[in-house]
Amino acid sequence: MTTHRLTEDATGVYIISVTPFNDDGAIDYDSADKLVEFYIESGVSGITILGMMGEAPKLAPEESTAFLDHMMDRVANRVPVVIGVSNAGLDNLNRLSRHAMDKGAAGVMIAPNPGQNTEAKLTGYFDQVVTALGPDVPIVYQDYPQSTGVHISVQTFNQMVRDHDQIVMLKHEDCPGLTKLSNVRQSAIDEDLRRVSILVGNGGLYLPQEMARGADGAMTGFGYPEMLVNVVKLCRAANWDRAEDLFDAYLPIVRHEQQPGWGLAIRKEVLRRRGVLNSAATRSPGPSLSAIDHDELGRLMDRVQRNVENLA
């Protein structure tokens, strides 16, 4: 069914979509439609849904499936869609992955479970995952130890690339991680390994430097996706100074969104103020902004607007 299939050649920005909710906590499908159009009009190369910042763990299984179906239908093959399928249960992971691919997904993103706290357990787990999914499901390995507590060495990741052709992308979110990114790229050359795509996360906080270290783009969320798209384009054109200048113009919001446990509420409020979401609600238990927070965010958004105008 799909006209897109994720490969090692993936580049650009695969935006991590938020999951919009009404104030009562129900999924807001009207805002979901506006999100899809907003992301595509911003120039993204792809969309990733049901990620950690998409509040996937707070969705019931039937809600995940319904949201997936709705988003896939709305995207309508205009850009590739990657589905986050991480789950403590392998059967659940496999079931959602199969449904996603049947709906036309480009691939699935999988983070290790906290229990894979040794590299032997980690490689054993992914052996099981790959066997369950089969050879036709492209896999993004999400390296996000700040959330999962699971660290993977460059050597072990390289071994997984050797062992499993289905692993076509590394979502790089280790922090600090610039040296690790460089080592993944250099070791692949030194060991004559298959080169996989690397898209970076962490809200784009280190995006220009990560692009200089060999990243192919970003797979992250931000209230101004057009910044991510244009910075990646400038970096890929080796227009480094212009890329840094543009990134710096948005830095007040980039930094503000990266506050642990709170940044999602900021991102959703930015999107609400930009007319994309009807409500900035996060699903309970989740953060919300106080009156002071709202005033502060307004000043920061005004500052970003001035920065962009001055840069232009």
**Cα 248 to Cα 236: distance, rounded to the nearest angstrom:** 18
pLDDT of residue 286: 85
Q: Is the dihedral of CA 146, 65, 107, 25 positive or negative?
A: negative
**Looking at residue 1, what is its pLDDT?**
47
Chain segment 4-13, per-residue pLDDT in tens: 899 999 999 9
Which residue carries 């069914």 as its tokens?
1
Going by C-alpha positions, the residue among 52, 115, 121 that lies closest to residue 85 is 52
Asked whether the CA dihedral 27, 54, 44, 231 is positive or negative, the reply is positive
Give this prediction's pTM. 0.95
Q: Give the whole-angstrom CA distance, residue 19 versus residue 39.
A: 13
The C-alpha atoms of residue 120 and residue 76 are separated, in whole angstroms, by 40
Q: What is the pLDDT of residues 244-258, one digit of tens each?
A: 999 999 999 999 999
Residue 267 CA to residue 273 CA, distance in Å, equals 10
- C-alpha angle 225/229/234, rounded to 5°? 145
139, 107 in Cβ contact below 8 A?
yes
In angstroms, how far is CA 304 from the centroid of its own chain?
A: 23
Extract the tokens encoding 309.
């105008």
Domains, in order of start, for the chain = 12-237 (3.20.20.70)
Positions of the chain with pLDDT under 70: 1-3
Mention every residue, 6+ apart, whose C-beta is less than 8 A from residue 12: 44, 45, 46, 216, 217, 229, 232
CB 177 within 8 A of CB 16: no
d(CA 227, CA 244): 11
Q: Report d(CA 111, CA 151) in Å as an integer.
A: 11
Instruction: Please tell me the distance from the alpha carbon of residue 223 to that of residue 16, in angstroms, as a whole number.
Output: 11
How many contiguous H segments (helices) and E segments (strands) does the chain have? 12, 8
How far is residue 102's CA from residue 79's CA, in Å, rounded to a whole number? 16
Token match 């270290």: residue?
Answer: 213
The reported pLDDT for the residue numbered 45 is 98
Q: Residue for token digits 């250099």?
A: 186
